[in-house]
Amino acid sequence: MNKELEEQLQVLRGLGPWETTTDFSENLVDQLTEKTTVRWMAAASILAFLFSGFVLMASAKTNKEIVASQQKEVSKAYEVNTLNY
Amino acid sequence: MGERFVQELILGDELAFKALVKEHQSRVYHHAMQILRNREEAEDVCQETFIQVYESIKSFKGQSSLSTWIIRIAINKALEKLRKEKRRNQLREILPWWMPEESKSIDSIQMHPGIKLEDKETAAMLYKAIDSLNPNQRVAFTLIKLDEISYTEASEMMDLSIKAIESLVSRAKENIKKKLR
């Protein structure tokens, strides 16, 4: 059986290399540039996402502060008003 | 292609990289085709290989020749493709309704153009048996039995010990014999 397999395998031996007409050096540099661009874009969008999250949180905090200070002003005005009466 | 050439590659010299691709593309394509026997997949492997070469040339220590190192990357890429296909087939068995059957007939197996007409039937049988092997056995068997490269070179290309290659080839032979019975 071993000999038989070896004989059969002769069919697939010494056939020479598989050939291609594609020249990989042509579009490879473009692909590398494209890959780098995609990586930069991904990094930039992550930064943009983080920054917008930060802005959102900061604005929520500022909003709370504004409301608190407005309430304070209103209560002061109320106190002044009640004093007048 | 000596140390100076590697230095040029590390520095990102585009011309040096193009020269490297031109020098090695035939060999990389040949090994990818021998393992996958699918033109599109082999071309993908070639492109992915050279992209990885460009990105990780700094990690090349010169322990093996640059050519062997490149072929090792290509073989790993081809192995990844075979493993992915195997996983897809396993998933297809579990969830046949999710992934419809893509049966590969004997006619769809891409044959080497050098095979004589009278040998085509035997070649198709052998290819089918080789395709049924697990990815590592398939690669080791192809390198040793079809490309007739030495065990030492195959062990460098697959990053495995010579004993491991011997064992893979021996098991592959047994499995092929079973398939051909």
**Interface with chain A: mutation pick from B17, B49, B133, B181, highest number of A CBs within 10 Å:** B17
What average pLDDT does range A49-65 have in this prediction? 89
Which pLDDT band holds residue A16 (cuts at 50, 70, 90)?
confident
By Cβ distance, the residue of A12, A16, A23 closest to B126 is A12
SS3 B101: coil
Task: Compare CB distances from A22 to B43, B51, B177 and report the shortest one's residue.
Answer: B43
Q: Residue A52: what pLDDT?
A: 93
pLDDT in tens, B129-158: 999 999 999 999 999 999 999 999 999 999
B83-115 tens-digit pLDDT = 998 888 888 888 777 776 665 544 556 888 888
Distances from the Cα of A79 to the Cα of A65, A67, A72, A73, B102, angstroms: 21, 18, 10, 10, 82
Please indicate whether the domains covering B1-84 and B111-181 agree at the CATH topology level.
Answer: no
Measured in angstroms, the CA of B114 and the nearest CA of chain A are apart by: 5
Greater confidence (B12 vs B157) lies with B157
Q: Which of A15, A23, A28 sits opposite B114 (nearest CB)?
A: A15
CA distances from B160 to A81, B76, B133 (A): 89, 12, 18
CATH node for B111-181 = 1.10.10.10
Please tell me the distance from the alpha carbon of residue B88 to that of residue B99, in angstroms, as a whole number.
Answer: 9
Higher-confidence position of B47 and A77: B47
pLDDT of residue B104: 54
pLDDT at B149: 92
Asked if the model's pLDDT at residue A84 lies above 70, the reply is no
Whether residue A15 is predicted with pLDDT greater than 60 in this model: the reply is yes
Q: Is A1 on the interface with B (CB under 8 A)?
A: yes
Q: Residue B37 carries which DSSP code? A: -
CB contact (8 A) between residue A35 and residue B177: no
- A61 to chain B, any CB pair closer than 8 A? The answer is no
Q: How confident is the model at residue A1 (pLDDT cuts 50, 70, 90)?
A: low
Mean pLDDT calculated for residue range A3-23: 85
Chain A with chain B: Cβ pairs closer than 8 A:
81
Task: Tell whether A21 lies on the interface with B, counting CB pairs under 8 A.
Answer: no
CA B172 to chain CA centroid, Å, is 16
Q: Which residue ranges make up each domain of chain B?
A: 1-84, 111-181
B107 contacts: CB under 8 Å, gap ≥ 6: none
pLDDT at position B75 is 95
Tokens of residue B93, six digits: 């068995």
Which CATH number is B1-84's, of 1.10.1740.10, 2.60.40.10, 3.30.300.30, 3.30.1330.60?
A: 1.10.1740.10
Higher pLDDT, B127 or A84: B127
The residue ranking higher by pLDDT, A30 or B43, is: B43
CB contact (8 A) between residue A25 and residue B173:
no
Q: A9 and B34: CB-CB below 8 Å? A: no
- For residue A50, the distance in angstroms to the closest alpha carbon of chain B comes to 28
Q: Which of B22, B46, B148 sits opposite A13 (nearest CB)?
A: B148
pLDDT in the model for residue B3: 77
Residue B122, pLDDT > 70, answer yes
Comparing CB atoms, the residue among A12, A18, A35 nearest residue B33 is: A18
- Euclidean distance between CA atoms A61 and B9, whole angstroms: 52
Answer yes or no: do A11 and B22 touch at CB < 8 A. Answer: no
| Max Cα–Cα distance, chain A, nearest Å | 117
